[in-house]
A and B are shown apart, each in its own frame.
Chain A
Amino acid sequence: MDLYLPILGLAVLGAGFAVVTIVTSALVGPKRYNRAKLDSYECGIEPTPQPAGGGRFPVKYYITAMMFIVFDIEIVFLFPWAVAFDSMGIFALVEMVLFIATVFLAYAYVWRRGGLEWD
């Protein structure tokens, strides 16, 4: 645990810095109320009301996040595999190639079905 205490210290420093500067600027800065200033930015016109229940986002974002999870999981297996590779040799290589090939199949399917297109 000794290795983590300095990290905690740095985090506290960073958090302290962020909070102190934000609070200081809130205290030091001017406060001039203006109704239009507190509206969302919309090039100076009245902000368009957000559609209730509608106005959805492209589902591509969802697919991207899904792909990200899958590849992230692959990566967290690749890391210990790479580190322990020297002591295992060919056997580990075959295992990993099988794994990558299966995930690659999914990747190819997503590509084929247009999941990677951002037109």
Chain B
Amino acid sequence: MIVQALGVRTVDDLSEFGTDPWWLSLIKAVLIFVFLLLLTLFNIWFERRVVARMQHRAGPNKNGPFGLLQSLADAMKLMLKEDIMVKAADRLLYVLAPVISVIMAFLAFAVIPFGPVVDVPFTDRQTPLQLTDLPVGVLFVIAVASVGIYGIVLGGWASGSTYSLLGGMRSTAQVISYEVAMSLALVAVFLYAGSLSTSEIVNAQQRLWYALILLPSFIIFWVSMVGETNRAPFDMPEAEGELVAGYFTEYSSMKFAMFFLAEYINMVTVSAVATTLFLGGWRAPWPLSLWDGANAGYWPVLWFLAKVMMFMFVFVWLRGTLPRVRYDQFMALGWKVLIPVALLWTVAVATIRAMTLDGGLDRRVLVGGALVAVLLFLLLSIVGERAPKEEPEAEEQPFDPFAGGYPVPPMPGQRLPRPEPAGVVPGGAQPDQEDDTARRSATEEGD
């Protein structure tokens, strides 16, 4: 199978694109726009419901069937809220920042292929299910994403608040760090596909998805796309315990909603890019692909959506499972693990490809070598595994609750002194509460 996947391809053929009449392009643009808005409303609901299930709650279920209209209600409510322009803000940039965020979020979807060439209903035209494609499609997505950073950095700065500024700086540093890892992970894909155009890359995955042959790239991309979108467990810019709400602390009403929208669209965008570059785009997954009609007509949109929603589910799953990591751990993961690994992997892939192209290396030798490497790795990981070091049993030390003049928690080996019951009468748990209620009603009367 790999033989076909490695086959040499022809030059980019984008003749299908740029031929649509203006009304068809407009319809497609409006469809993508509406699709992204609806999908965002759906995803907010989806996230809340799934996280609720994971936490044994019901989640929003009142507005509309299954609570589906909850996010629409939230949006309407935000719309009717007061639009606050904080005093310290730089007025122009304060408004511009969310607008930039949202435009850039929409733009990236212009080159995402939803499906193959189809017949347009009610006409005899044919058109690809993709707004447009560029010979440099993926570069366009990355460039647009990098411009989207301005929404964050300007929003943080223009608010004129310390929390916003800190959140904006953090978020920017985070996004640019993971953008590097993300782009490096894509190089191997371009090596195999020989093109930067999204539709060409989907076509190149006819036989085999790149997620299978380029698994390390896929994993690096997946990890960095969570970091790139500021999602849990990498949501330090919004760490409410440290920074209130990060760069949008000072935003309210629809301007806040724009940041929110941009964040959710960005999640869909990176999921769609991952789908396109690694999971065969709109192509049907294996058992379905045996059916001839699976990759024709409008069916592929369904497979595409299913794959995107799979990524979305993992986003939610991560949020429901993992606690937030520390900022230094996060940056260390990006700069010290993901980037060097991505670089080495790229060089390795290129080496293998150069050797197979030259014909100097038989594919069987390669597979054998890979097998030996995997076996060696497994062997080493078994042999090298030492018994986990016993944590030294801390000696029992007296606990000083005010060591150094500050109230401190007990260290390992120290034990909290048994709390002395203060003013609790055994058998009578109620008096406190009654007391409280009595006091509250007294104050209310006083008002």
Write the residues of chain A forming the contact surface with B, with a CB cutoff of 8 angstroms.
2-7, 9-11, 13-15, 17-19, 21-22, 24-26, 28-32, 37-42, 47-48, 50, 57, 61, 64-65, 67-68, 71-72, 75-76, 78-79, 82-83, 85-86, 89-90, 92-93, 96-97, 100, 104, 107, 111, 116-119
Q: Which of B158-166, B409-417, B434-442 contacts its partner?
A: B158-166
Contacts of B180 in A (CB 8 A): 67-68, 71-72, 75
Contacts of A82 in B (CB 8 A): 187-188, 190-191, 350
A22 near B25 (CB under 8 angstroms)? no
B196 near A22 (CB under 8 angstroms)? no
Other contacts beyond A2-B19, A5-B25: 9, CB < 8 A: A3-B17, A3-B132, A6-B28, A10-B32, A41-B161, A47-B88, A86-B357, A96-B347, A116-B332
Whole-angstrom CA separation of A46 from B6 in the bound complex: 65
Residues in B343-382 with C-beta less than 8 Å from chain A: 343, 346-347, 350-351, 353-354, 357-358
Supposing A6-B131, A41-B249, A100-B343 touch, asked if A68 and B254 sit within 8 A by C-beta, the answer is no
Whole-angstrom CA separation of A93 from B191 in the bound complex: 11
Contacts of B336 in A (CB 8 A): 111, 116
Q: Which partner residue on chain A sits nearest B104 by CB separation? A: A14
Contacts of A15 in B (CB 8 A): 99, 103
Whole-angstrom CA separation of A58 from B270 in the bound complex: 30
- Interface size of B as a range: 35 or more
Shortest distance in angstroms between B250's beta carbon and chain A's nearest beta carbon?
A: 6
B102 near A83 (CB under 8 angstroms)? no
Contacts of B253 in A (CB 8 A): 25-26, 29
Contacts of A17 in B (CB 8 A): 33, 102
Q: Which partner residue on chain A sits nearest B138 by CB separation? A: A79
B331 beta carbon closer than 8 Å to chain A: yes
Whole-angstrom CA separation of A101 from B212 in the bound complex: 28
Supposing A2-B18, A3-B14, A22-B258 touch, asked if A31 and B106 sit within 8 A by C-beta, the answer is no
Contacts of A6 in B (CB 8 A): 20, 25, 28-29, 110, 131-132
Whole-angstrom CA separation of A40 from B160 in the bound complex: 7
Contacts of A9 in B (CB 8 A): 25-26, 29
Contacts of B353 in A (CB 8 A): 85-86
Q: Which partner residue on chain A sits nearest B14 by CB separation? A: A3
Shortest distance in angstroms between A118's beta carbon and chain B's nearest beta carbon?
A: 4
User: Could you say which of B28, B88, B133, B184 contacts A75, with CB atoms under 8 Å apart?
Assistant: B184
Supposing A64-B173, A75-B183 touch, asked if A3 and B357 sit within 8 A by C-beta, the answer is no
Residues in B76-108 with C-beta less than 8 Å from chain A: 78-88, 95, 98-99, 102-103, 105-107
B28 near A68 (CB under 8 angstroms)? no
Scoring B residues 188 to 209 as 1 if CB is less than 8 Å from chain A, else 0, what string do you get? 1011001110000000000000
Residues in B57-72 with C-beta less than 8 Å from chain A: none
B33 near A13 (CB under 8 angstroms)? yes
Write the residues of chain B forming the contact surface with A, with a CB cutoff of 8 angstroms.
8, 14, 17-20, 22, 25-26, 28-30, 32-33, 78-88, 95, 98-99, 102-103, 105-107, 109-110, 131-134, 139, 159-163, 169, 173, 176-177, 179-180, 183-184, 187-188, 190-191, 194-196, 244, 249-250, 253-255, 257-258, 327-328, 331-332, 335-336, 339-340, 343, 346-347, 350-351, 353-354, 357-358
Q: List, sorted by A's number, 7 A–B pairs whose CB atoms are closer than 8 Å.
A: A2-B19, A7-B110, A11-B103, A15-B103, A72-B180, A75-B184, A83-B194
Whole-angstrom CA separation of A39 from B87 in the bound complex: 6
Shortest distance in angstroms between B174's beta carbon and chain A's nearest beta carbon?
A: 9
A7 near B33 (CB under 8 angstroms)? no
Whole-angstrom CA separation of A76 from B19 in the bound complex: 29
Whole-angstrom CA separation of A73 from B180 in the bound complex: 10
A79 near B139 (CB under 8 angstroms)? yes
B82 near A31 (CB under 8 angstroms)? yes
Contacts of B86 in A (CB 8 A): 38-40
Contacts of B176 in A (CB 8 A): 64-65, 68
B79 near A21 (CB under 8 angstroms)? yes
Whole-angstrom CA separation of A32 from B105 in the bound complex: 33
Shortest distance in angstroms between A89's beta carbon and chain B's nearest beta carbon?
A: 5
Shortest distance in angstroms between B41's beta carbon and chain A's nearest beta carbon?
A: 14
Contacts of B132 in A (CB 8 A): 3-7
A65 near B162 (CB under 8 angstroms)? no
Supposing A18-B99, A64-B176 touch, asked if A10 and B249 sit within 8 A by C-beta, the answer is no
B106 near A93 (CB under 8 angstroms)? no
User: Could you say which of A11, A28, A32, A48 contacts B106, with CB atoms under 8 Å apart?
Assistant: A11
Supposing A3-B134, A86-B357 touch, asked if A116 and B33 sit within 8 A by C-beta, the answer is no
B350 near A85 (CB under 8 angstroms)? yes
Q: Which partner residue on chain A sits nearest B78 by CB separation? A: A25
Shortest distance in angstroms between A23's beta carbon and chain B's nearest beta carbon?
A: 9
B350 near A93 (CB under 8 angstroms)? yes
Shortest distance in angstroms between A14's beta carbon and chain B's nearest beta carbon?
A: 4
Supposing A22-B255, A86-B357, A116-B336 touch, asked if A38 and B106 sit within 8 A by C-beta, the answer is no
